[in-house]
């Protein structure tokens, strides 16, 4: 079998993929993650996942590459990773007491094959007080996380319900990823 490479530096994606019992290498590509003007969240995450996969395939052309990108959508806007404390507080204020969407684009690419999918999960946030937000920021957990939170961490206390794939919110929808890997014969 060809070498399998995860095109991501995310420890969460690595751990999720390891749950499948796969042997793979990790290589994190450096791509421009700027959203295009008025780009829908679903198209954005799919485009980035495919660009990441292609960047790694360009470097390792005999590999099977799996890449993913996760972002939040709220009122048609992309909520990425917080750039500062103030940015995180603004995001959480917008999310407070509301449902939002978490989208992950997954791409599996080889020299001859290219498959991608977008998975959407709805997440409810409880109303957050200013103290909730300040205390959560102080934990350090929000940095580097889409929407400024980690459902698998401390932020679980703020999330009463989800509708859809839990692993999608963590960063890699496992069921759909398995389906893509089966298509390129990595899994039976």
> Cα separation of 187 and 165, whole Å?
20
3-state helix, strand, coil split of the chain in percent (to 5) is 35, 25, 40
Q: Six-digit token pair at 83?
A: 């750039």
Cα–Cα distance list, 37 to 34, 47, 52, 77 (Å): 9, 14, 20, 11
Spot the catalytic one: 30, 32, 58, 69.
69
Q: Is 62 a catalytic residue?
A: no
| Residues carrying an active site annotation | 69
């Amino acid at each position: 079998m060809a070498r399998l490479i995860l095109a991501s530096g995310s420890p969460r994606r690595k751990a999720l993929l390891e749950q499948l019992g796969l042997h793979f290498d990790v290589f994190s590509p450096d791509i421009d993650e700027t959203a295009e003007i008025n780009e829908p969240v679903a198209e954005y995450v799919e485009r980035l996942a495919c660009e990441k996969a292609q960047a790694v395939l360009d470097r390792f052309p005999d590999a099977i590459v799996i890449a993913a990108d996760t972002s939040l959508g709220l009122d048609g806007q992309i909520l990425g990773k917080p750039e500062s404390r103030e940015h995180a507080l603004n995001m959480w204020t917008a999310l407070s007491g509301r449902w939002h969407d978490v989208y992950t684009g997954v791409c599996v690419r080889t020299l001859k094959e290219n498959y991608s999918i977008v998975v959407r999960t709805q997440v409810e946030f409880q109303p957050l007080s200013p103290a909730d937000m300040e205390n959560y920021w102080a934990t350090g957990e929000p940095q580097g996380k889409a929407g400024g939170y980690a459902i698998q961490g401390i932020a679980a206390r703020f999330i009463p319900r989800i509708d859809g794939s839990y692993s999608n919110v963590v960063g890699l929808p496992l069921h759909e990823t398995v389906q893509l890997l089966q298509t390129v014969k990595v899994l039976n």
